[in-house]
Amino acid sequence: MASLLQDRLPINQDVLLMQKGTLMRKVRSKIWKRLRYFRLQQDCMTVWHARQAGGKAKPSFSISDVETVRKGDESELLRSLAEEFPLEQGFTVVFHGRRSNLDLVANSPEEAQTWMQGLQILVDFVTNMDQQERLDHDWFQRGDKNQDGRMNFQEVQRLLHLMNVEMDQEYAFQLFQAADGSHSDTLEAKEFTEFYKALTKRTEVQELFENFSADGQKLTLLEFVDFLREEQKEGDHAPDLALELIDCYEPSESGKLRHVLSMDGFLGYLCSKDGDIFKPTYLPIYQDMTQPLNHYYINSSHNTYLVGDQLCGQSSVEGYIRALKRGCRCLEVDIWDGPNGEPIVYHGHTLTTRIPFKEVVATVAQYAFQTSDYPVILSLENHCSWEQQEIMAQHLTEILGEQLLSTTLDGLLPTQLPSPEELRRKILVKGKKLKTLEEDLEEEEEEEELESESVEEQETELEPETEFETQRLSPRSMDKKEKKSTPIICPALSALVVYMKSVSFHSFTHSKEHYRFYELSSFSEAKAKRLIKEAGNEFVQHNAWQLSRVYPSGLRTDSSNYNPLEFWNVGCQMVAMNVQTAGLEMDIYDGLFRQNGGCGYVLKPDFLRDTQSSFHPERPISPFKTKMLLVQVISGQQLPKVDETKERAIVDPLVRVEIFGIRPDTSWQETNYVENNGFNPHWGQTLCFRVLVPELALLRFVVQDYNWTSRNDFVGQYTLPWTCMQQGYRHIHLLSKDGTSLHPASIFVYICIREDLEVDES
C-alpha cells in the first residue's frame, strides 16, 4: 500500500486479498451477466476491472464514491436471478448520487464476504479521513502516473493541467524545488503535501486577515470579535462565538491558550461550516414541528418507482430507497392487478417494467425512517379490482405493522391535522375512502357495542355510499384506469385512509363548503398554474387549512421537472418531483429541503399559514419590506474540469447568481469570465439585487465555463433559501449536477443585506 494511507490503514486480510484481484460476474440485467476481473489498486482508493486477469484494465470506481455495500438478498436484480446464482455469493456496491448500483456475483460466499467486508472497511476509513488528507491523497494518486510512489517535475506539470492550473513553468519549478526536501528531483507523498499547500496559498484571505490584524501575524481576541461583529454580522454573541471558533480552528495549543487566531486558523474558520454561506444553526432541525401537517412544505416524489423515463423506464424498489434516503416523505405508488392475485406497481399503459406491490411495501418498511423520523405518506394510485385491493390492504397491514397509522391518534375525532411531531415514525396512506372519518369513528363505536352484527348487514350499509364515492373519483385517476368501469373501493383498503382522503377539486368555494380538513386534492401542473393566475389569493387561503398535491404533466415523458417555487408561493405542500432527474429544478427543490435536518418538512412562512391571508404571489403588498442584496464575488478555488478527457483544456470560469421567488423577484446576474484559470480565479465583482418577498426567495450560485461558440458549460452550483443565508465573508462549497460534493471546489464571496429604504418610502 504505497500511498498516503500506508501509515494510517491497519493491515487487513480482506483488503490484501482484494489487491490480488478476483474474477467475478458483473450483472446489469437478467440477460447481461459478464465475467470481469476486479482488483483493488495499491493506493487502496480505486478499484479497476479488466476482462481477464492480466488484461487491459480501466477504473471501475473510487472508494470515495461508495455510499455502502449491500448483501445479495437486498438486491432486486440478484433476487430475480437466485435460481442461477446463490444470493450469498452476490453483493451490491451502492454509490452516492444518482449513479446506478453495481451488482456483482463472486465464485463463493467466502469471496463475496471478502469484498463486502473489505469495501466497508475502506469506505468507513475514507469517510473518517480528514478532507484535506483525502484531497492530498487523491491528487497525488492522479499525478503519480507510473504509480511508483513519487512524482518528477514532468508528472507535476501534467497534474497542474489536471488541476485546472495554467502556471508559469519557472514559478512551478520554484515551488517544486522548495518542496523537494530530499533533493531527489522527485516529490514523495509528504513532500507533495507541502507543494500542494504552497500552491493553494490564498492571497485574498491573507489581505483580509492583515486588514484586521495589527501585527499581521495573528488576530487577538478583540480583533477577531471586531471582524465577527462588523463583517460577519454576528451581533451581540460575537465575543462568545470568537472564543468558540478559536478553540475549534486554531491549530496551535499556545494560540488557543492565549485566545489568538493565526492565519491558518483564520483560513480554517472561513473554509468550515461556520464560515459557510449556510447558517449552521439551520442545518439541524430548528423549526417548530408541532403545527398541523398543512403548515409545512413536504418533500414529495412523483412516480417514485421509476428510475428512468415515463414510457420505457425501469420500475424498481431502488426508486423508493433513493427517494427516502434523500429525504422524500410523500411517495407515489401506482398499483394495478398483477398475475397470481398479486398487485403490481408500474406506470399504466406504458412499457415500464413491473414490480410486486408487496416488495415496494417491504422496502418502505425498511427505509422509511433511516433519514428522518417524521411521517411518510404513501400516495396510492389505485387501479386494482376488489380482490387485489384486499391483498393490498393485507400487505400494508401485515408488512408495515405498528408503523402503519390505521386510526386517529387518540381514537377521537380531530379538529385539525396532526403535527409531524405527533406522527413520528408513522406511515400514512393517502387515497380514496368510502366514508368520512366521522362515519368511520362512529362505526368503530357501534362495532364495539354490537359485536354480534352480521357481516352481511355491514356490507349492505356500504353499497349506496360506495356508488356515490365512485362518481367522485378524480379526473386523473379516471384517465389512468385500464378498465372502462370504475372499480369499487374495498372497505379494508378504505379503512387504512385516515388523515389523507383524496377528493376531486371543483372550486375553492366548493372545497370550503363541502370538504373537511383531512380531505385533499391533487392538481396537474397546468391546472395549478391556471388557478394561481386566476385566484392566487384563494389558493393561498385554501392551502392554509387543507393539503394540496401538485404533480408533473403527463407530457413530461422524459421525466423532466417544473419549477416547484411557483406552487410553493401559494403554499402547496406536496409539490411532487421526478427526483431521478437532476437539473435546475431539483437544485431548487434540494435547496429548500437542505435546512431543518433534511427531515423532509419545512415550515411555511406565516402569511401562507393564515386562512385570512391577503397574500397574492402575483401582486404582493405590504407588510413586505424590500431588501437589497449585495453579492461581491471575490474568488474561486480548485474548480473541476468540465471535460476530464482533455488534459490540457482549462476552464474559463464565470459566476452566475440567480434568485428564484415570486415573479418580480426572479432574476440573475453574472460576472465576467476569467481566462484559463480554474484553480484560483479572481473576479472581485459586485452584483446587486432587489427582493420584495425574501421569505420565499432561494439563491442559486452557478459556476460556468465560458464558451463563446455555444452555451456555457456547467461546472458546479449551490442553492439555498434566503432565510438560511449568512452575511459577511463566506465560502460556497459547490455541488455537481447530481447534487454530490465537488470538494474542494468553492467560491469565496461577501454577502450584505440592507433595507431598501427608497422603495419602501415610495
Catalytic positions, written as ranges: 302, 347
d(CA 152, CA 131): 25
d(CA 236, CA 232): 12
Q: Are strands 46-50 and 102-105 parallel, antiparallel or unpaired?
A: unpaired
What cell numbers appear for 392 in the block? 393490498
Give the count of alpha carbons within 13 A of 253, CB side only.
0
What cell numbers appear for 282 in the block? 439551520
Phi, psi of 392 (to 5 degrees): -55, -50
With cell 469484498, the residue in question is 115
The residues, any chain, with a CB within 8 Å of residue 438's CB and separated by 6 or more, are: 413
d(CA 333, CA 345): 7
According to the 3-state scheme, what is the secondary structure of 230-250? HCCCCHHHHHHHHHHHHHHHC
What cell numbers appear for 358 in the block? 408487496
Determine how many CB atoms are found less than 10 A away from the CB of residue 259: 16
Q: Are the C-beta atoms of residues 135 and 62 closer than 8 Å to each other?
A: no
Q: What is the DSSP letter of 101?
A: P
Phi, psi of 90 (to 5 degrees): -105, 160
Please, what is the end-to-end C-alpha distance for the chain in angstroms? 70
The residues, any chain, with a CB within 8 Å of residue 582's CB and separated by 6 or more, are: 98, 737, 738, 739
Beta bridge partners of 160: none
- CA dist list (Å): 466 to 461, 488, 496, 529: 9, 7, 16, 32
**SS3 category, 49:** strand
